[in-house]
Amino acid sequence: MNQDLLTRYAQIAGEDAVEQLLQLASPLKGAHIVHVNSTRYGGGVAEILHSLIPLKQALGLDVTWEVITGEEEFFLVTKSMHNALQGFSTEIQSRALKTYEETNAQEAERLRPLLEEADFVFIHDPQPAPLIRFIPNRKGKWIWRCHIDLSRPQRSVWRYLRNLVTRYEASIFSMPDFTQPMPHLQYIIPPSIDPLTEKNKELSEKEVKKILSRYQLDPHKPIVLQVSRFDRFKDPLGVIRAARLARKFAPLQLVLAGGGAADDPEGEVVLREVEETAKGDPDIHILYLPPDAHHTINALQRGAHVVLQKSIKEGFGLTVTEAMWKGKPVIGGDVGGIKIQVVNHHTGFLVHTPEGAALAIRYLLFYKDKREEMGRKAHQFVKDNFLITRHLRDYLSLLLALKLGAHERIELETWTG
Residues that bind ligand UDP (CB under 6 A): 43-44, 47, 199, 227-229, 258-259, 289, 293, 297, 316-319, 322
Instruction: Pick the closer one to ligand UDP by CB: 104 or 192.
Output: 192
Instruction: Pick the closer one to ligand UDP by CB: 237 or 289.
Output: 289
Instruction: Pick the closer one to ligand UDP by CB: 38 or 104.
Output: 38
Q: How far is the CB of 308 from ligand UDP (least distance, A)?
A: 12
DSSP single-letter state for residue 344? B
Q: Which residues share a beta bridge with 120? A: 33, 141
Helix, coil or strand: residue 238: helix
Instruction: Pick the closer one to ligand UDP by CB: 70 or 317.
Output: 317
Instruction: Provide long-range contacts, Cβ within 8 A and 24+ apart, for 184-189.
Output: 187/394, 187/398, 189/391, 189/394, 189/395, 189/398
Q: How far is the CB of 44 from ligand UDP (least distance, A)?
A: 3
Instruction: Pick the closer one to ligand UDP by CB: 135 or 189.
Output: 189
List of residues 6+ apart from 292 with CB closer than 8 A = 41
Instruction: Pick the closer one to ligand UDP by CB: 20 or 347.
Output: 347
Torsion (CA) 351, 352, 353, 354 in degrees, nearest 10? 30
Q: How far is the CB of 326 from ligand UDP (least distance, A)?
A: 11
Helix, coil or strand: residue 32: strand
- Integer Cα distance of 44 and 318 in angstroms: 6
Instruction: Pick the closer one to ligand UDP by CB: 170 or 300.
Output: 300
Instruction: Pick the closer one to ligand UDP by CB: 266 or 322.
Output: 322
Q: How far is the CB of 315 from ligand UDP (least distance, A)?
A: 6
Q: How far is the CB of 304 from ligand UDP (least distance, A)?
A: 13
- Integer Cα distance of 295 and 280 in angstroms: 28
Count CB atoms within 10 A of the CB of residue 155: 10
Q: How far is the CB of 265 from ligand UDP (least distance, A)?
A: 14
Q: How far is the CB of 91 from ligand UDP (least distance, A)?
A: 23
Order across the sheet with 223-227: list the strands.
284-288, 253-258, 223-227, 306-309, 330-333, 348-351
Helix, coil or strand: residue 298: helix
C-alpha radius of gyration, the chain, whole number: 22
Q: Minimal CB distance to ligand UDP: which residue?
A: 44
Q: Which residues share a beta bridge with 193? A: 387
Q: Which residues share a beta bridge with 35? A: 65, 122
Judge whether 216 and 332 are in contact, CB under 8 Å: no
